[in-house]
Amino acid sequence: MGVSSDPNQQDGSDEQQRRSEIYTYEAPWHIYAMNWSVRKDKKYRLAIASLLEQYPNRVEIVQLDDSNGEIRSDPKLSFEHPYPPTKVIFIPDKECQKPDLIATSSDYLRIWRVASDNSRVEIKSLLNNNRNSEFSGPLTSFDWNEAEPRRIGTSSIDTTCTIWDIERETVDTQLIAHDKEVYDIAWGGVGVFASVSADGSVRVFDLRDKEHSTIIYESSEPDTPLVRLGWNKQDPRYMATIIMDSAKVVVLDIRFPTLPVVELQRHQASVNAIAWAPHSSCHICTAGDDSQALIWDLSSMGQPIEGGLDPILAYTAGAEIEQLQWSSSQPDWVAIAFSNKLQILRV
């Protein structure tokens, strides 16, 4: 490229630089489930899944081509999925020690294997706990245990949480976790997980003592469902939850049950997704129907702040943001999904 004396040239390259912090992929359908790959040899790779009101849905694996700034789908790694997946997660295997697996939840938990030559994706396991019934309570969510990757915990509308050993393809534990539908589940360590429910409570379970659970929080209005749960991986004392149809995010300290440490109240419409920073104990990202993704610094948590806490960063998308994931292997990047678009943002 020749040297130009055009005075606007500088602005142009700055603009380009700024623009290149955001990459967009347009899917042929509305995106709901979405997540980052974890393996360090597969940078900028994500899975996205369709939300179609029909039995056949799709999952695509897409990847940013660093050289030209395009996110591309690999047709060989696109596959059909029964019902829209409620969640998708790549195996938490940063060091690439294990097969390249993806898990999805809908009517059942399914584990898929990406062929090592990237030629195809095939089903490895279909995990169904209700062998005696042809109907199963649909799975609302699941979480893959990073400390013990053979364990996946699922949550279901039938009030249960199920802990699977995916290597043996057997159930470790199934427990009635709540009085109503369980909407989300998150691991907090090897044998500890938490869940949120339509009964309005956050409960913590320890697999060494399955008879008991600890209620960490109950929504102040009776029968107000809690729909999402994020457990802070860098500081497991903290978790965050979303109340259905509410614009606030409640941050909890499990040492002081029932009272939120802070409530994040700068969204203008319902919050749909939360993600703790994978590399910092005091940052969280939230996103919602106001089309905003907000990043918060919670290092002043616990000190009263006049008028409440403000976010340190705000990004406005082109539509309501339904999904948000913060990359654990590339912590400078957050992904959001809105309408039929996937965007990855450098933060």
AA identity, residue 95: E
What is the pLDDT at residue 3? 33
**How far apart are alpha carbons 112 and 31 in whole angstroms?**
19
**Could you please report the per-residue DSSP string of 242-307?**
EETT-S-EEEEETTSTTS-SEEE---SS-EEEEEE-SS-TTEEEEEETTSEEEEEE-TTTTS--TT
What is the pLDDT at residue 7? 38
Q: Where are the domains of the chain?
A: 86-346
AA identity, residue 98: K
Going residue by residue through the chain, which has 347 residues, state the pLDDT in tens, using 9 for 90 and above: 333 333 344 444 454 545 569 999 999 999 999 999 999 999 999 999 999 999 999 999 999 998 899 999 999 999 999 999 999 999 999 999 999 999 999 999 999 999 999 999 999 999 998 765 555 689 999 999 999 999 999 999 999 999 999 999 999 999 999 999 999 999 999 999 999 999 999 999 999 999 899 999 999 887 899 999 999 999 999 999 999 999 999 999 999 998 999 999 999 999 999 999 999 999 999 999 999 999 999 998 877 778 889 999 999 999 999 999 999 999 999 999 999 999 999 99
What is the pLDDT at residue 5? 35
Extract the tokens encoding 38: 């974890």
Kindly compute the dihedral angle of the four CA atoms of residues 46, 78, 32, 176, in this order, to the nearest 10 degrees: -90
Q: Does domain 86-346 have CATH number 2.130.10.10?
A: yes
For the entire predicted model, the pTM comes to 0.93
**How far apart are alpha carbons 320 and 292 in whole angstroms?**
8
Calculate the CA 197 to chain-centre distance.
Answer: 17
What is the pLDDT at residue 49? 98
What is the pLDDT at residue 307? 83
What is the pLDDT at residue 301? 81
In sequence order, the 6+-apart residues with CB closer than 8 A to the CB of 306 are none
101: β partners: 113
